[in-house]
Amino acid sequence: MPESKKKCTVRFEPSGLRTEVPQGTILLEAAHKAGIYLSSICGGDGYCGKCKVVIDEGQFESRPTTLLTPNEIRENFVLACQTKVLSDMTVTVPKFHSLETSQILMDTDAHRFSELVPKGLVPKGLAPKGLAAELGEGIFKFDPLVQKIFVEMSPPTVSDHTADHERLYLAIREQIDAPIMQTGYRILQKLPEVMQSSGYKVTATVGRRGETTEVIEVEPGDRRSKNFAVAVDLGTTTVVAHLVDLTSARTVDAEATYNSQINFGEDYIRRIIYAEQNDAFDEMQSRIVHDVNNLIVTLAERQKVDLQDINAVVCSGNTAMAHFLLNLDPTRIRREPYIATAGFVPPIRAAEAGVQINKRGLFYCLPSVAAYIGSDIVAGVLTTRLHTKKGISLFVDIGTNGEVVLGNKDWLVCASSSAGPAFEGSGVKHGMRAGAGAIEKFDILEDDSVQFRTIGNKHPVGICGSGLLDTLAELFTHGIIDRTGRFNVDEQARVTEGDEGLQFQIAAPDDGHQQIVITQADIDNLVRSKAGVFAAIRVLMESTQTKVDDLEAIYLAGGFGNFLDVRQAVTIGMLPDVPLDKIRFVGNTSIVGAKTVLLSRKALKTAEQIAESMTYFDLMSHTGYMDEFIRANFLPHTDLSLFPSVAKSVVGGV
């Protein structure tokens, strides 16, 4: 008979959250159970070293690791994923795990792109601002996927005996083009009551599914003004939602949150493996659905919108995330033949996926191209309009992976580099998402002093994408690192020997805050990451015989932060050496694309055409990719002739 295991209570400080687990439970699991977020890239395999916590009290057993410094070991740091709970314990979770510190920019960031709706989509003739204006006139008519239509009908009489259902159809068809119509069973059942109680003046909510117009709701009276929808960007790390008023096409509010699957691995490949090993696909779905619902409820409560008046959700995101959300088998995304279960997901009822809006509301997923080219990339093309331009443009999305699209109105090619999420802050000692306290701008001045700006002007707690790009470029241009990325130890007083080898001090320790440094390993990671992206760009350009001079525009998307210096992306050799006015930082094009689709049926069709017409290059099986990657593992590149402007201003100057 198995002996029943002793129960241990684990208390986490400073939150005070506690949980009870059987003796022998891994501390990382105990943290999950208590609802504590601990950074973890490797999903608990013990090699990323992110899940550090301090044991204040209690007995534990920890496997040896090289990922803790002698100092950390002295301070009772352990890796939560390598530690077993043996008694009641008290554990302190260091501040760097905290999600809260990042909340502010998420909102700002989301708001910032809320105006990215092409002109034609604005029904009231409001002029678009910012990028929307730059991108030119919208090509889509305002024609949302879900509409509310107010219909005033004559009540039936003995001489006008048309049934309620057909009466409603006739009235709807007077206002919109809807050759094929469908009504849900529950709507049919309640129709007579709504028609009669309102004197045959009702508001019909109609959703479009392919060529079919479906009546998804019928309400008494004129409720046209209560028609909302939510666009969602399903990121591996961050989930962003915009609440859109479908009457005015206005973005009412925006909100973002961390993807709470993050406990199971920071990249989606890790999460797929975790789900396979632990039969946790339901859990994966429930977490991401929970995140989406939380965002929707937060937005609805803040804007005093009834959830029943939210009639559609449009998602875009990478292929794995869309599979997790819908609980479609994602396992072959990570394993030969590297395919998706579905690239095109037909619209379903949101309730079927557990998304809590109007219970007959519709859920749309933008189409994806391949296992590693998700609908977020299709949304990016839709937003930047590569597919409409005569000249050749390049679209680069830097996230957990780096996806690249090249093309024009006649052709589109794409590839995904598994370059890793270094520019999202992962695999970088003090890397972090673009949130409060993140260093987003960094300069080395002439006198070798440094200058930086943090998001929200907080005390620096880490470095976000734009700050990392600056750091790498500045270290390089000031000769503190050489073209291979190695520190020139002679050059700078700020380069010191740390626990993990040489490191450069960006911010000194202050007021109880740790110092912020960048290590040799961080630099190697960042160089590998940019090399992966550039190699992908090269493969696509070589395959299509596109010269650098042929590029009319480069669009750089991703969650770098607010102020990205695109010049630095050329300096480090991530983007081709084109005149700087050809490069645009376009932020989160995934959410903008989702929103565009929400507001225009034509945009959804266009997204489908884009997804169908894109040719995918599988870099893993591409013979030239590894060569290109190795050649790109220099600053800016092995072949300086590819970066004449950098060679002239930087390398030539060293």
**Residues of this chain that bind a second copy (CB under 8 A):** 155-166, 180-185, 188-189, 191-193, 209-212, 326-329, 331-332, 336-346, 348, 352-353, 370-371, 616, 618, 620-621
User: Which of 453, 570, 564, 430 minimizes the C-alpha distance to 504?
Assistant: 430
Which residue's CB is nearer to a second copy, number 473 or number 610?
610
Give yes or no for a cis peptide into 576 (omega within 30° of 0): no
Helices (H) and strands (E) in the chain, counts: 17, 29
Three-class secondary structure of residue 58 per DSSP: coil
Which amino acid would we find at residue 624?
Answer: G
Helices 520-543 and 465-477 sit at what angle, rounded to 10 degrees? 100
Residue 319: CB minimum distance to a second copy, A: 9
Q: Which is nearer to a second copy, 336 or 497 (CB)?
A: 336
* Nearest distance, CB of residue 362 and a second copy, angstroms: 12
Please list the residues that pair with 405 across neighbouring strands: 395, 414
Q: Which is nearer to a second copy, 92 or 198 (CB)?
A: 198
User: Given the complex with a second copy, which of 368 and 393 has the nearer CB atom?
Assistant: 368
Q: How far is the CB of 154 from a second copy (least distance, A)?
A: 11
**Which one, of 563, 484, 496, lies nearest residue 524 by Cα?**
484
Which of 109/403 has CB closer to a second copy?
Answer: 403
Nearer to a second copy, 120 or 156 (CB): 156
Q: Cβ of residue 338: shortest distance to a second copy, in angstroms?
A: 6
Nearest to 608 by CA among 394, 342, 375: 375
Q: Which is nearer to a second copy, 36 or 149 (CB)?
A: 149
Cβ of residue 378: shortest distance to a second copy, in angstroms? 14
CA distance 630 to 640: 14
Q: Which amino acid is at 199?
A: G
Neighbours of 206 (CB within 10 A): 24
Identify the three-state secondary structure at position 78: strand
Q: How far apart are CA 127 and CA 187, in angstroms?
A: 39
Helix, strand or coil for residue 544? coil
Q: Which is nearer to a second copy, 403 or 424 (CB)?
A: 403
Smallest gap from residue 622 Cβ to a second copy (A)? 11
Q: How far is the CB of 200 from a second copy (least distance, A)?
A: 11
Nearest 5°: CA angle at 313, between 312 and 319?
A: 145
Please, which residue, 307 or 348, has the CB nearer to a second copy?
A: 348
418 contacts 628 by C-beta, under 8 angstroms: no
Rounded to a whole number of angstroms, the minimum distance from the CB of residue 230 to a second copy is: 19
Is 226 in a helix, a strand, or coil? coil
CA gap 213, 231 in Å, rounded:
20
Angle made by CA atoms 207, 230, 245, in degrees to the nearest 5: 80
Q: Is the dihedral angle over the CA atoms 380, 382, 383, 389 positive or is it negative? A: positive
Choice between 95 and 332, CB closer to a second copy: 332
Question: What's the chain's length in residues?
Answer: 654
**157 or 449: whose CB is closer to a second copy?**
157
CB of 222 to a second copy, least distance (A): 23
Please, what is the minimum distance in Å from the beta carbon of residue 175 to a second copy? Answer: 19
Which CB, 78 or 191, lies closer to a second copy? 191
> Which residue, chain included where needed, has tokens 């780096």?
402
**Pairwise CA distance, residues 295 & 25, whole Å:** 32
For residue 180, list its beta bridge partners. Answer: 212
Pairwise CA distance, residues 330 & 261, whole Å? 14
Q: How far is the CB of 161 from a second copy (least distance, A)?
A: 5
Smallest separation, CB 454 to a second copy (Å): 43
Ramachandran category for residue 268: left, alpha or beta (phi over 0 → left; psi -120 to 50 → alpha): alpha
Nearer to a second copy, 54 or 348 (CB): 348
Report the alpha-carbon distance of residue 93 to residue 101 in Å, rounded.
Answer: 14
Min CB(618)–a second copy separation in Å: 6
- Tokens matching residue 283: 């859990």
Residue with Cβ nearer a second copy (20 or 160): 160
Write out the DSSP string of 404-422.
Answer: EEEE-SS-EEEEEE---SG
Nearest CB to a second copy, comparing residues 58 and 354? 354
CA 73 centroid distance within chain: 35
Sheet with strand 228-234: strands edge to edge: 250-258, 238-245, 228-234, 310-317, 362-365, 348-349
Q: What share of the chain is helix, strand, coil (3-state, %, to 5)?
A: 35, 25, 35
Please, which residues have CB within 8 angstroms of residue 181's CB and are 6 or more apart in sequence? 169, 172, 173, 212, 213, 214, 215
In whole angstroms, the minimum distance from the beta carbon of 183 to a second copy comes to 5
Nearest-approach distance from CB 216 to a second copy, in angstroms: 13
